[in-house]
A and B are shown apart, each in its own frame.
Chain A
Amino acid sequence: MSDIKVVPLGAGQDVGRSCILLYIGGKRIMLDCGMHMGFNDQRRFPDFSYIGAGPVTEYIDCVIISHFHLDHCGALPYFTEMYGYDGPIYMTHPTKAICPILLEDYRKITVEKKGETDFFTSAMIKTCMKKVVAVNLHQTVQVDDELEIKPYYAGHVLGAAMFRIKVGSQSAVYTGDYNMTPDRHLGAAWIDKCKPDLLITESTYATTIRDSKRCRERDFLLKVHEVIEAGGKILIPVFALGRAQELCILLETFWERMNLKAPIYFSTGLTEKANHYYKLFISWTNQKIKSTFVQRNMFEFKHIKPFERSFADNPGPMVVFATPGMLHAGLSLNIFKKWAHDKRNMLIMPGYCVAGTVGHKVLTGQKKIEIDKKTVIDVQLSVEYMSFSAHADAKGIMQLIRMCEPRNVLLVHGEEKKMEFLKNQIEKEFHISCTFPANGEMVTIETDPRIEIDVDAKLLAYAGGKIKSDSSVPKRLRADLDGDDRVLEGILVMRESGMTLMEPQQALKELGLMEQQLRFTTRLGVPQSAPPLKVLSQRLSGMLKGAFEDCDFRVMPDGSIGIASVMIQHTQGADPLKGEEDRELHVSWSYQDDDLGSEIASCTEDFLRTTSL
């Protein structure tokens, strides 16, 4: 129970099909349920058989979907409808709204274009979405009595969220994909100092630190402008949602400002539907759009028109946003085939490309690209890569770690080598442990078990006043004090109902016990050369009075000296044979006054030594 276990089913040292199993406080949570873009066989879905045999609902307490990108939610209908998960699924409102559109699109491409069978159907998507519970930002949702989750804003795309998962005293944060730099339509990810035991963060750009986004924007606009002026066509492969809207806003404002006439097209279909949701979920966007939507909703584009297939052959300059973003299929690949041979044209890749896709091949500089056995494309157009991807860069990841102050970090959703580099950085800077398991590899994270103890308010207040100065802490404890640690002394009373820390007196009273005194006594032999005891005792008391004048100092009638609870007594040797020789001083003190007592004892010892000389 005192550890957290994590198993990535996908996205472990890999980008795509995010799916992470989290065992925390006896609960099992599936974080994201995505598919892989690079594969068309069974590898595209996470290996759910790992979870266990039989009805899967028993093994999983809930599924959390961070955002609507297919590599985070693509396998959800498969998991719920075909694999048989029947428990709750949590996602934010925009994700719930947009997710089915993307899933439906994905299904269409796979089933209708590629003619695959044994795939989930539209009806399955519908029933799957019925199981979804939508949550709001910063809303604490109680999944069951012990498990609670809370979403935070993550930037990245509309509705993307980071989730904090808490069971008892253990907590973990799963970031999904997030972005620490705000852009034209979304704000930056934000989380409070929740100090989780574990932070599971994506690390797509683990080794990149990006330029200022303004430079990137300027570069992008400049390049677009140049090509348009020269009469070329620009193809920007995007995923229907996310960067597409960002670039649309950027181009729309630029077109308006520069009064450009060249058409901008956006491949229709799901984008239109998606834009509709963007207009609706204004509260999830950034400061600017939120404040100006009363006058004009930024997502109502003036210059951007829907695209039709025949437009691709039109002469003259144009800008086309086409899906999908990695050029692996569909319209964007079609247009690419048509335009690739013309030098004036340009391909702008605004985001990450998974290895194996056409996009990746183009970017790595291949001039002849084999799409299938029959077609080979001769790439003549200029290719630009602009990191408009809305993932946090290395600095952003570090910033998030600083923000939420986790005790452990786990990296997912990235490439192994990059993760290793980042891991070293994190361990060096924050001195916290960092791991990056591969798919199917279980990582166990030890957590400090926390025990809750009731403390008497009075005692706490007293301690609050007391801890002001170090001197009030007993000497033997002072060495342990380090930084923020504070010492509170009391008696721990364990009852059935729980544990309580009490003041000693009160504890004794409640338990009906007598207080036992524990006293230390030191016997100090008085040297023979020393003056008679009476004189000695007078001198000693004079010396001690000077040294400890602000303590409660008293001299007893029998000549013994009392300083607070410390007593100094002198004894005459009981053995008459030894006579005057056997003289001793007894210094005794209670254990609470250990430091005072030992100080007095050493003083007395010194005193005896000096007087005897």
Chain B
Amino acid sequence: MATHRKRKAKLESYSNVISKPPEKTLAIKLKAKKPKIASESSLRDAAAQINILSIPKRLRSPQQIDEDIMRLVKTMQGGQGTTSAAVRASASERLASLLLSDSCSQEMREKCMGELVGVLNSEDDGCLRSSVLGAIARCIQDGKCDTAISEKEIHSLGMNCIQDGCFAVRVSALHFMTSCWDRQLADLSLLKKILAEFVGDPDSRVRKAALEELVALHSKEVSLELAIYPTVACALKDDDSDVRVLAVELVHCIAVGQPDTPMQLDKGEPMTTVRLIDDAFMKTCGMMSDLAANVRTEAARLLGLFTDVSFTFLEQTLDKKLMSHMKTRKSYHEKRRDGFAAGNTKSVWSSGRDFGADAAKKVDSDECHIVNQGACGAFIHGLEDEFLEVRTAAVKSMCQLSTKYPKFAALSLDFQVDMFNDEIDSVRLTAIDCLCKVIHLVELEEDQLETVLGILPDCSSDIREAIRDLLANSHLTTKSCLNQAIQSLLTNLNSYPQDRPHIWKCMKSLGDHHSSLAFALVKDLLNTHPYFVSQEPDADDPAYIGILILVFSAMKHSPLMVEFCPQHTIRHYSYLRDSIPDLVPDVQIGKKSPLVLSERSMKTASALIDRIMGRVIHIVQRQQSRAACVPVLETAIRDFEQVATTTSSPHSASSATWTCISMHLRCLLYLYQAFEPWQSASSESHRLLSVLSPTSLNEFLRYSYSLQHLFCGLTDKEQLHLRECRVLLHAAYILQNSHKIAEKSQHVLCLLSRLQSLERFCKQTDCTPSPHVKHLLLAKENIYTGAGSGNLLQSLCGPLEQTAKDFDIKQYLLSFSPSTFQRTSADILLPRDSGRGSGGKPKQFVSALAISFDIEAILTNVTDIESVCIQVLFPDGTRQIFYPKAAEIKKLTDSTHRLRSTVVLSHSQWSEACDIEISIARSFTPDVDEFLLVKAPSDLDCISKGLLNLSGSTSVSIQPKDRLYR
């Protein structure tokens, strides 16, 4: 019946007299021309008017809002045509946002919707109609105004506007219909039909909008019918590249929904059918030779997302010479079969390598189609593309497909390896990373390995690392492959000594994966001779260590290898097993089993901690005189520190534990000494004697903050404990200096705020403060509520003294269990130490101009990356802090990060070369501003600035000179 309706509309257009008198159209024309003549001034006017429309963002009363709305409605309606369409359009947009605000009444909304619809129906300016329609769509979509307009009206509005002559109105109408369709009858097929119709609109912007809406529908998980598919496929040939981009996406969307639907190929004798997904895949492949780079990029990206494609088509993407397009699929199979039978896999096309081979041959032209259709060589095109965006997308897609189809992985390996020679670093890196993901599915052949190893000496460390990761995960096929890889790694080690840890790691995985190949190579690697004793290599030579790591890793899987090892190798084993335990596995070598050794040592370590701690606590508890505790603690601290320094690896847990305990004991010792006079009933004068020195205060805070921030694994309770310690020490300081400190002095205020921050912390973490600080917290409460006496200091003194008397070190000793802590630290790899002591040449630069340093460091156990900073200390005591960008810190493993950054320094002139100290630090927020307690900053840590050092410092000698040329 709809057709009849349209027929009628057409009839009317012929039979009716023109409704508008011609004079009127003329008048409109004139009006429209006027602003064009004085376009500049009218533009300015329009801009001014749009500005007036803007609604201040502050809160307004409902009345004011109503006024605003009415004003906007008036502007939108335009009065006697005085306002330009642009102003009215912008008024309608603002109106929509006001209507959607919560403060607008429902009544007002309904009224305004009516006005909007009225304007839409009465006006014929495209720009205005389009934005009014957009405004209505927004209001309806939000759901607040949906009662104002009936479903039927919505439908007719959409249908009306979609036939409009202006593209903008059609675009908005398409959006309007899609966004408001949910409310209407659940019949989505009509909507889809309408959208599909507009994919063929004469205006490319409308086509684009229609496709966009279809994609949007698909993203809302509306299934798209097959009926749309031919229309969309047609849009692939569109003149507008944006339309093509969307069409490619949509083809994929439709095909993924119903992959197995049979499709008939449009041309071709005899008719062949393929699955829909295969057809879509072929079409997407065809778009890889599109003339617009963004279409190619999109197509390349989408190729990777296809699943369930028949392998035949996948295979074709890698073969450019496969000419037969799907039209003659049967003959393609035949040809292949014939080719194999004849032992000739070469196609009729010459590869261009042999001259003369491309002379015209008799080719059955029915079988050959050079056209760029089908999946033929799509990836080859993509990988050869001019634009790196396309190449990157193609590489990624290839990787995605490889993970889905292991057979494809083997086929595509050659091409992926070829990409390692790309001229652009980022593409190379992507290719390597991608291959890393699929390398476990394939085996590297000798020639492929050669290409891989060819890139190993690359000057970019990222690429070197990626290649080594690739090597570490790869399966090598032959003995010579492994040998080649090892030799290349050793050369690499020679030219890039800073890569040593990574090369060793790579050696280890190579050994792990290729124990049998390594077995065959062991004689060559260790340079042994059947009856001559060879020279013993230097056990500290990195290359030799690398080889040993590989040999021992392989030995783990084939213990027989031990027989081939010379004596010194076995000796070196125990040395390496101790020095780099994470790279050298447990292997049964010789009589002594190192396995037992290390286990025992581990056991003894933890047992030792327990034993010592137990004894310390025991002694402290048993001591009658509290003063006698001090030497006990001091001895314990000394012991712990000693043990910490001798523990093999500074990163191992035990070392951290030792350090941690000793630091904690030190803190307690300070506290103990501070409170000691009050605990023994000694005289006032005695108390005055033991005043806390600023240095010890400083030390205490440094230990306390280091404990809190340089170790990870602290529980909330332990953090609270450390905070309490600081409160107590501050209290002790005030107590001791109570006669000197003025009432309401900064110290007192500082203590109060410290207490407050403690309380806040307790609230945040749901911990209860220990009884020691309870008096203080109470006193603080009283002061704030005004319950205490007028004098601040006096009202504090009582609780302070009480706290001091109550203080019990034993409880504090027990409340800290550092066995699970790990130390946060940093190792600076670059710059190397080149201070004056090392005899290096100072770096010279013109004073007041900049000099840059590359910084490279490995961060261990850093949980909070943002807090890491680079600290530079100048000889004149000034310090500069650089916060590296997030991109400059790369995660290596769960616990380690690598920082690679550049700092740019400058300084005024010096007379001679001086050292600057570069270190990696971590910033933290102190409880309160600590500048009262800490006067002088220590060398590298700077408590008052919230800095703790993670690494040792590297000194670099620099010399700013005064002139550019001497």
- Report A's interface with B, CB cutoff 8 A: 181-182, 184, 187-188, 190-193, 205, 207-219, 253, 257-259, 286-288, 349, 353, 363-364, 385-387, 393-395, 398-399, 402-403, 415, 417-418, 420-421, 424-425, 428-430, 457-458, 461-462, 464-466, 468-469, 471-472, 504-506, 548, 550-552, 564-565, 592-593, 596
Asked whether, in the complex, the Cβ of A425 is within 8 Å of the Cβ of B365, the reply is: yes
Asked whether, in the complex, the Cβ of A395 is within 8 Å of the Cβ of B372, the reply is: yes
Residue B716 at the chain A interface, CB threshold 8 Å: no
- Report B's interface with A, CB cutoff 8 A: 1-8, 10-11, 13-15, 18, 163-165, 197, 201-202, 239, 289, 291, 320-321, 323, 349-356, 358-361, 363, 365, 368-372, 377, 380, 383-388, 415, 418-419, 421, 423-424, 451, 454-455, 457-458
List of A residues within 8 angstroms of B368 by Cβ: 425
- In the assembled complex, the CB of B201 is this many whole angstroms from the nearest CB of chain A, namely 8
List of B residues within 8 angstroms of A205 by Cβ: 352, 358
Asked whether, in the complex, the Cβ of A465 is within 8 Å of the Cβ of B163, the reply is: yes
- In the assembled complex, the CB of B652 is this many whole angstroms from the nearest CB of chain A, namely 40
Asked whether, in the complex, the Cβ of A191 is within 8 Å of the Cβ of B291, the reply is: yes
Asked whether, in the complex, the Cβ of B6 is within 8 Å of the Cβ of A464, the reply is: no
List of A residues within 8 angstroms of B323 by Cβ: 209
Q: How far is the CA of A92 from the CA of B208 in the complex (A)?
A: 36
Residue of A nearest to B22 (CB): A509
For chains A and B in complex, what number of residue pairs have CB atoms within 8 angstroms? Answer: 172
Asked whether, in the complex, the Cβ of B163 is within 8 Å of the Cβ of A363, the reply is: no
Residue of A nearest to B423 (CB): A288
- In the assembled complex, the CB of B824 is this many whole angstroms from the nearest CB of chain A, namely 37
Q: How far is the CA of A275 from the CA of B552 in the complex (A)?
A: 55
Asked whether, in the complex, the Cβ of A257 is within 8 Å of the Cβ of B454, the reply is: yes
13 A-B Cβ contacts within 8 A? A182-B385, A193-B291, A208-B352, A210-B351, A218-B451, A287-B386, A393-B352, A394-B349, A395-B377, A465-B165, A468-B163, A505-B14, A550-B8
- In the assembled complex, the CB of A401 is this many whole angstroms from the nearest CB of chain B, namely 9
- In the assembled complex, the CB of B639 is this many whole angstroms from the nearest CB of chain A, namely 54
Asked whether, in the complex, the Cβ of A429 is within 8 Å of the Cβ of B371, the reply is: yes
Point out the residue from A191, A208, A551 that lies within 8 Å of B8, measured CB to CB: A551
Q: Given A218-B418, A258-B454, A551-B8, A398 and B358 touching (CB < 8 A)?
A: no
Point out the residue from A216, A395, A551 that lies within 8 Å of B370, measured CB to CB: A395
Asked whether, in the complex, the Cβ of B383 is within 8 Å of the Cβ of A403, the reply is: no
Q: Given A209-B321, A428-B365, A193 and B8 touching (CB < 8 A)?
A: no
Asked whether, in the complex, the Cβ of B369 is within 8 Å of the Cβ of A212, the reply is: no
List of A residues within 8 angstroms of B418 by Cβ: 212, 214-215, 218
Q: How far is the CA of A577 from the CA of B504 in the complex (A)?
A: 123
If A218-B421, A259-B457 are given as contacts, then 18 extra A-B residue pairs at C-beta distance below 8 Å, sorted by A number, are A184-B423, A207-B361, A209-B320, A211-B320, A216-B353, A253-B423, A257-B454, A363-B356, A364-B355, A387-B353, A395-B320, A398-B372, A420-B360, A428-B369, A552-B11, A564-B11, A592-B11, A592-B14
Asked whether, in the complex, the Cβ of B18 is within 8 Å of the Cβ of A505, the reply is: yes
Q: How far is the CA of A182 from the CA of B391 in the complex (A)?
A: 12
Asked whether, in the complex, the Cβ of A209 is within 8 Å of the Cβ of B349, the reply is: yes
Asked whether, in the complex, the Cβ of A596 is within 8 Å of the Cβ of B386, the reply is: no
Q: Given A181-B384, A464-B202, A417 and B360 touching (CB < 8 A)?
A: yes
Point out the residue from B13, B197, B371, B424 that lies within 8 Å of A398, measured CB to CB: B371
Point out the residue from A349, A398, A472 that lies within 8 Å of B355, measured CB to CB: A349
- In the assembled complex, the CB of A114 is this many whole angstroms from the nearest CB of chain B, namely 28
Asked whether, in the complex, the Cβ of B380 is within 8 Å of the Cβ of A212, the reply is: yes
List of A residues within 8 angstroms of B353 by Cβ: 211, 216, 219, 385-387
- In the assembled complex, the CB of B173 is this many whole angstroms from the nearest CB of chain A, namely 12
Q: How far is the CA of A212 from the CA of B320 in the complex (A)?
A: 8
Residue of B nearest to A515 (CB): B14
Asked whether, in the complex, the Cβ of B7 is within 8 Å of the Cβ of A208, the reply is: no
List of A residues within 8 angstroms of B352 by Cβ: 205, 208-211, 216, 387, 393
Asked whether, in the complex, the Cβ of A471 is within 8 Å of the Cβ of B6, the reply is: yes
Q: How far is the CA of A216 from the CA of B421 in the complex (A)?
A: 12
Give the interface centre of B372, B377, B424 by most chain A CB atoms within 10 Å.
B372
List of B residues within 8 angstroms of A458 by Cβ: 165
Residue of A nearest to B201 (CB): A464
Q: How far is the CA of A289 from the CA of B509 in the complex (A)?
A: 38
Asked whether, in the complex, the Cβ of A287 is within 8 Å of the Cβ of B388, the reply is: yes
Q: How far is the CA of A85 from the CA of B422 in the complex (A)?
A: 47
Point out the residue from B4, B164, B419 that lies within 8 Å of A550, measured CB to CB: B4
Point out the residue from B5, B6, B384 that lies within 8 Å of A182, measured CB to CB: B384
Q: How far is the CA of A298 from the CA of B451 in the complex (A)?
A: 23
List of B residues within 8 angstroms of A218 by Cβ: 418, 421, 451
List of A residues within 8 angstroms of B321 by Cβ: 209
List of A residues within 8 angstroms of B386 by Cβ: 182, 187-188, 286-287
Q: Given A417-B359, A469-B6, A472-B7, A385 and B423 touching (CB < 8 A)?
A: no
Asked whether, in the complex, the Cβ of B363 is within 8 Å of the Cβ of A548, the reply is: no
Asked whether, in the complex, the Cβ of B360 is within 8 Å of the Cβ of A421, the reply is: yes
Q: How far is the CA of A510 from the CA of B415 in the complex (A)?
A: 70
List of B residues within 8 angstroms of A212 by Cβ: 320, 380, 383-384, 415, 418
Asked whether, in the complex, the Cβ of B291 is within 8 Å of the Cβ of A424, the reply is: no
Residue of B nearest to A504 (CB): B14
Q: Given A286-B386, A596-B7, A190 and B360 touching (CB < 8 A)?
A: no
- In the assembled complex, the CB of B649 is this many whole angstroms from the nearest CB of chain A, namely 36
Point out the residue from B8, B354, B358, B371 that lies within 8 Å of A564, measured CB to CB: B8
Q: How far is the CA of A288 from the CA of B422 in the complex (A)?
A: 10
Asked whether, in the complex, the Cβ of B11 is within 8 Å of the Cβ of A214, the reply is: no
Residue of B nearest to A460 (CB): B165
Point out the residue from A187, A472, A548 that lies within 8 Å of B10, measured CB to CB: A472
Q: How far is the CA of A288 from the CA of B358 in the complex (A)?
A: 32
Asked whether, in the complex, the Cβ of A403 is within 8 Å of the Cβ of B369, the reply is: no
List of B residues within 8 angstroms of A353 by Cβ: 355
Q: How far is the CA of A564 from the CA of B363 in the complex (A)?
A: 64
Q: How far is the CA of A316 from the CA of B158 in the complex (A)?
A: 82
Residue of B nearest to A552 (CB): B8
List of B residues within 8 angstroms of A504 by Cβ: 14
- In the assembled complex, the CB of B2 is this many whole angstroms from the nearest CB of chain A, namely 8
Q: How far is the CA of A349 from the CA of B352 in the complex (A)?
A: 12
Point out the residue from B7, B289, B355 that lies within 8 Å of A399, measured CB to CB: B289
List of A residues within 8 angstroms of B358 by Cβ: 205, 207-208, 418
Residue of A nearest to B379 (CB): A212
Asked whether, in the complex, the Cβ of B372 is within 8 Å of the Cβ of A461, the reply is: no
Q: Given A364-B356, A466-B10, A592-B11, A208 and B370 touching (CB < 8 A)?
A: no
Give the interface centre of B349, B369, B423 by most chain A CB atoms within 10 Å.
B423
Asked whether, in the complex, the Cβ of B8 is within 8 Å of the Cβ of A425, the reply is: no
Give the interface centre of A191, A214, A253 by most chain B CB atoms within 10 Å.
A214
List of B residues within 8 angstroms of A596 by Cβ: 7
Give the interface centre of A181, A353, A464, A552 by most chain B CB atoms within 10 Å.
A464
Residue of B nearest to A214 (CB): B418
Asked whether, in the complex, the Cβ of A398 is within 8 Å of the Cβ of B370, the reply is: yes
Asked whether, in the complex, the Cβ of A551 is within 8 Å of the Cβ of B4, the reply is: yes
Point out the residue from A213, A387, A461, A465 that lies within 8 Å of B384, measured CB to CB: A213
List of A residues within 8 angstroms of B423 by Cβ: 184, 253, 288
List of A residues within 8 angstroms of B360 by Cβ: 207, 415, 417-418, 420-421
Give the interface centre of B358, B359, B372, B388 by most chain A CB atoms within 10 Å.
B358
The list of the 6 closest CB pairs from A to B, nearest first, reads: A461-B165, A387-B352, A182-B386, A471-B3, A385-B355, A417-B360
Give the interface centre of A212, A215, A393, A417 by most chain B CB atoms within 10 Å.
A212
Asked whether, in the complex, the Cβ of A217 is within 8 Å of the Cβ of B421, the reply is: yes
- In the assembled complex, the CB of A399 is this many whole angstroms from the nearest CB of chain B, namely 5
Residue of A nearest to B386 (CB): A182
Point out the residue from A214, A402, A421 that lies within 8 Å of B421, measured CB to CB: A214
- In the assembled complex, the CB of A483 is this many whole angstroms from the nearest CB of chain B, namely 9
Q: How far is the CA of A219 from the CA of B5 in the complex (A)?
A: 70
List of A residues within 8 angstroms of B163 by Cβ: 465, 468
- In the assembled complex, the CB of B230 is this many whole angstroms from the nearest CB of chain A, namely 12
Q: How far is the CA of A565 from the CA of B7 in the complex (A)?
A: 12
Residue of A nearest to B388 (CB): A287
Q: How far is the CA of A357 from the CA of B628 in the complex (A)?
A: 106
Q: Given A192-B291, A548-B4, A550-B4, A394 and B421 touching (CB < 8 A)?
A: no
